[in-house]
Chain A
Amino acid sequence: MSSLTYDDVVAKYEPVLGLEVHVELNTHSKMFCSCSTIFGGQPNTQTCPVCLGMPGALPTVNEKAIESTILIGLALNCSIAPFSRFARKNYFYPDMPKNFQISQFDEPICVDGFVDVEIDTDEGVKKFRIEVERVHMEEDTGKSLHVGGATGRIHGADYSLLDYNRAGIPLVEIVTKIVPGTGRYAPEVARAYVAELRDILRSLGVSDVKMEQGSLRCDANVSLRIIGSDVLGTRSETKNVNSLRSVERAVRGEMIRHAERLNNGDRVVQETRHFQEDTGLTRSGRSKEQAEDYRYFPEPDLVPVAPDALWIEQLRATLPERPSIRRKRLQEQWSVPDKEMSAMVNADVLDVVEATVLLGSDPTKARSWWLGEISRVANEKEIAIAQLPITPNDVAEIVVLVNSGELTDKLARQVVEGVIAGEGTPAQVISQRGIKVVNDDVALMKAIESACAAQPETAEKVRAGHLPAAGALIGAVMKETQGQADAARVRELLLKHLGQ
């Protein structure tokens, strides 16, 4: 375990970040052919001569992918190059059908943008500007499944299986310039940047941005330098970072690991490292000491991309509200304190809360359901809220039932639980579970009378003004009504009945 504390690290060193984010676009067809991009198909069923790299097959560009990339560039405040080219990145790997990847090299489609992020700190909200160097298009590779061996890695495997369904899916790579000046907040800034990017991409509707499915992947480059130095340290590149939380953990972990090496007089090795979700540590991967030579050259099978200036302006006009601005607007509309707002953003419930509010719920109730019970279940199951079978529609319906007194808070929780468990809509859960608020005062009075008859002494005590004794009678009524009565109403009726 580490002997250094994080405070020790940031007291001596300044971290410098560099973040590369790969985004799978959600186009219906692949980057260079018309094969489907649907996730999870049977292996090698979504392939054709083009994406299998058959001899003679040629790529043609998916215009929708170019449009999505330009939208991303515009949303990240980039300039859109009037002329850009695809290039071949040459290296041999079995899951890459042509043994070169069509990518972009020195002529990317979008350059020089930025993303502003805010993080909560003990010193209040801090703002950082992350400069984006480039946004470019490329094709994804296939997937290798290494069978046998202990690690699931190619070394030591008995054999490997190749699935080319993913080969040729459009990817956009967003690369930041180096990010200095984040100091002790580097891990949070990295996380906030990826979160902001994800929100922007989602608002553009260009990607599913599911980190757990790999449609948004982050490689975190970290290096340290002694505070005050202007010489960059050696960086490591951490891959396999599959959640926002992991981005933060990976950066923090690497900062500590680098600092330990530097303090011990060791040098940091320039290499790829793999993040381990269970330990939060990284494991050494491919060394990059000998820079790989990808022999880039312009892709001769594709003509240059020269988007029309008018088209770019038309796309700019369709840009949705920037997520950071939207957050401010919602916070104001809902009158939510900063902390609550951050909690909602962190729990990733902003979209669902807004949808619930738009369906007529009041913001406080909508928020408390999504942030409370529903988030709790999602956390318990360790899945995203979006993966639970409950929708804003369901929550809005439940809020309406609570407001009209048809459900108590306690019963509403049972309904939510049922919907989350996949038992159907709130109405279905209510009817199947036989949940019904007993708000019929006549029925309640009957139960109260019988409770008083069964416990005459207790009833007398209450009648005499000893109110705590009422609890036993209320309990009996609740038992009688199988917990479906509104306890507050029972108490009210009981006390009235006993002359209090």
Chain B
Amino acid sequence: MIKKSAHEMSQALAGGEITSVQLTQQHLNRIASVDTDVHAFLHVDAEGALAQAASIDAARSRGEKLGPLAGIPLALKDVMTQKGIPTTAGSKMLEGWRPPYDSTVVTNLKSAGIVILGKTNMDEFAMGSSTENSAYGPTHNPWDLSRIPGGSGGGSAAALAAFEAPLAIGTDTGGSIRQPAAVTGTVGVKPTYGGVSRYGLIAFSSSLDQAGPCARTVLDTALLHEAIAGHDPRDSTSINAPVPAVVQAAKSGDVKGMKIGVVKELNGDGYQAGVRSRFEESLELLAKAGAEIVEVSCPNFEYALAAYYLIAPSECSSNLARFDAMRYGLRVGDESGASAESVMNLTRDIGFGREVKRRIILGTYALSSGYYDAYYGSAQKVRTLITQDFEKAFTHADVLVSPTCPTTAFKIGEKSNDPLAMYLNDIATIPVNMAGIGGMSLPCGLAPEDSLPVGFQIMSPAMQDQRMYLVGAALEAALLAQWGAPLLSQAPVMGGAQ
């Protein structure tokens, strides 16, 4: 059962073929058997998950009306607070911290009856593209354990690819949902900014962070999207409007007459040959399904990466200031006679990893008086230009597409000492965050040269998230017809026969 989609599991639960407790136990067993190799989870809450599953089973037996994902297990990125459950954001700074409150996403998951298995690994405070920056050790890509699972949400993506969970929550600041989805052969969506509440999402860069759904199929992703999305009065940047009809779109998959814009600047040089060929083939499939393929140009995307690495570090330098040992989390050097200042300094020195410190320093510098206009100010102007590029492009096309990442999964350790090479991995995903629009990555095959998954990115205008699901569902169906089985069935078998 664990290799099925959440939608199929849901039907099995509804039909009485299996109980949620059994389904949850199967996933817990899977975690026990494969996670020593994958290391997708930082914390597994077996007891809580089984209790939640039991209560869903009880509700079902009482004949209560349940949501479409009730009783289905899920892996939660460790950047989301869950009351009483250790939440670290991949940092030593928060080791042992148990939040006193649920994030809105968790509240929504619970009310949808979704069973939370545990918390998944991530780059520290979501800063990274490989999950190597976790203070708790890297996560391994189920396709090749010597490779990265992407980041920052590598744990969530790897959990899906290793069949440890059929659903997962990620967060995406510059690609942290889509890039891991791409390199693990799974599906991930960054909704329109404000579509899903950020309340309880431990902030990296507030104006860019967005939580979103991750799964193995487009429909499952849509079902999870609807479960977590919606207006939240506790997040003032949350959109007060109905959630786009993403499930309906994912079920339809009709792209006849749709215009699909290929972004000229997000292809070509720097993109791996196998990534490009799989992308081109996907375009042909979409054309066959009735879509019209056009080329669009977004000239200012060239500056997106540079601007992102000013805005995100600036906001993070401020967001992470609260980690000062005064109220929660790590406290170092608290000996008699030590001043508050020295405790703060020591704690931040020991508690933050190298990449986090690098970004705090970058951001502090960029916001400093005398540099603000040149750095943060200019970056904001670039952001406006990128948004305008998108607006213009969307007058020519209903959705825009590109490869999700320039390459397939690289080796663990390959780019750890070259932050710029690491940052370049997000070159195609960052513009979406800068403009606050929606983006999806879904698998479009294996690159011939390394037999690793390639991601196909679909971008839709703000509050038009259903469009990427339409296109995603169409492409997924066409690819499935070609392959005969989901891409993940080609992944190496782990954990013995299941």
Taking Cβ atoms with an 8 Å cutoff, the residues of A that contact B are 49, 52-61, 88, 90, 92, 94, 97-100, 154, 160, 162, 291, 293, 295-297, 300-303
Contacts and interface: CB of A to CB of B under 8 A. Distances in A.
B36 interface: no
Given A54-B101, A56-B99, A301-B206, A94 B340 contact: yes
B344 A55 contact: no
Nearest to A162: B326
B327 interface: yes
Given A49-B101, A293-B369, A303 B236 contact: yes
Nearest to B100: A49
A53 B206 CA distance: 14
Contacts of A301: 203, 206, 236-237
Interface stretch (B193-201, B386-394, B461-469, B475-483): B193-201
Interface string B187-221: 00000000000111111011100000000000000
Interface string B66-109: 00000000000000110000010100001001011101000000
B374 interface: no
B314 interface: yes
B328 interface: yes
A297 B322 contact: no
A155 to B, nearest CB: 9
Contact of B94 (A49, A55, A300): A55
Contact of B235 (A53, A58, A160): A58
20 contacts: A52-B327, A55-B202, A55-B203, A55-B328, A58-B198, A58-B199, A58-B236, A60-B234, A90-B367, A92-B324, A94-B324, A94-B340, A100-B318, A100-B321, A162-B326, A291-B369, A293-B368, A295-B318, A297-B318, A300-B205
What are the 8 closest A-B residue pairs judged by CB atoms, nearest first? Answer: A99-B321, A295-B367, A300-B206, A300-B207, A56-B200, A55-B202, A53-B322, A56-B81
Contacts of A60: 233-236
B376 A98 contact: no
A100 B323 CA distance: 12
Contacts of A55: 81, 87, 89, 94, 97, 99, 202-203, 322-323, 328
B334 to A, nearest CB: 10
B303 interface: no
B318 A88 contact: yes
B372 interface: yes
A98 B340 contact: no
Given A53-B327, A55-B94, A98 B100 contact: no
A162 B340 CA distance: 11
Contacts of B300: none
Contact of B372 (A98, A100, A297, A303): A297
Interface string B407-439: 000000000000000000000000000000000
Contact of A61 (B89, B199, B236): B236
A57 B369 contact: no
A47 to B, nearest CB: 10
B366 to A, nearest CB: 9
A54 B367 contact: no
Interface string B306-320: 000000001101100
Contacts of B206: 300-301
Contacts of B322: 53, 55, 97-99
B364 interface: yes
A98 B81 contact: no
Contact of B103 (A56, A61, A98, A99): A56
A99 B203 CA distance: 14
Nearest to A44: B327
Contacts of A57: 101, 199-200
Nearest to B87: A55
Contacts of A59: 236
Given A92-B324, A94-B326, A56 B203 contact: yes
B199 A56 contact: yes
Contacts of B317: 90, 295
A380 to B, nearest CB: 42
Contacts of A49: 99-101
A54 B207 CA distance: 18
Looking at A88, A92, A295, which has the most chain B CB atoms within 10 Å of its CB? A295
A90 B318 contact: yes
Nearest to A144: B340
A293 B314 CA distance: 14
A242 B97 CA distance: 41
Contacts of B100: 49, 54
B338 to A, nearest CB: 10
A60 B202 CA distance: 16
Contacts of A58: 198-199, 234-236
Contacts of A300: 205-207, 237, 315
A53 B372 CA distance: 25
Contacts of A97: 322, 326-327
Interface string B217-234: 000000000000000011
Interface in B283-336: 314-315, 317-318, 321-324, 326-328
A227 to B, nearest CB: 34
Nearest to A164: B327
Contacts of B236: 58-61, 301-303
Contacts of B207: 300
Given A58-B198, A300-B237, 19 more contacts: A53-B322, A53-B327, A54-B100, A54-B328, A55-B99, A56-B202, A60-B236, A88-B318, A90-B321, A92-B321, A94-B326, A97-B322, A97-B326, A98-B322, A293-B368, A295-B368, A301-B203, A302-B236, A303-B237
Contacts of B339: 154
A99 B322 CA distance: 5
Nearest to B315: A300
Contacts of A54: 81, 99-101, 327-328
A96 B99 CA distance: 19
A108 B418 CA distance: 42
A476 to B, nearest CB: 75
A288 to B, nearest CB: 14
B171 to A, nearest CB: 11
B406 to A, nearest CB: 28
Looking at A56, A60, A303, which has the most chain B CB atoms within 10 Å of its CB? A56
Contacts of A100: 318, 321
Interface in B96-142: 97, 99-101, 103
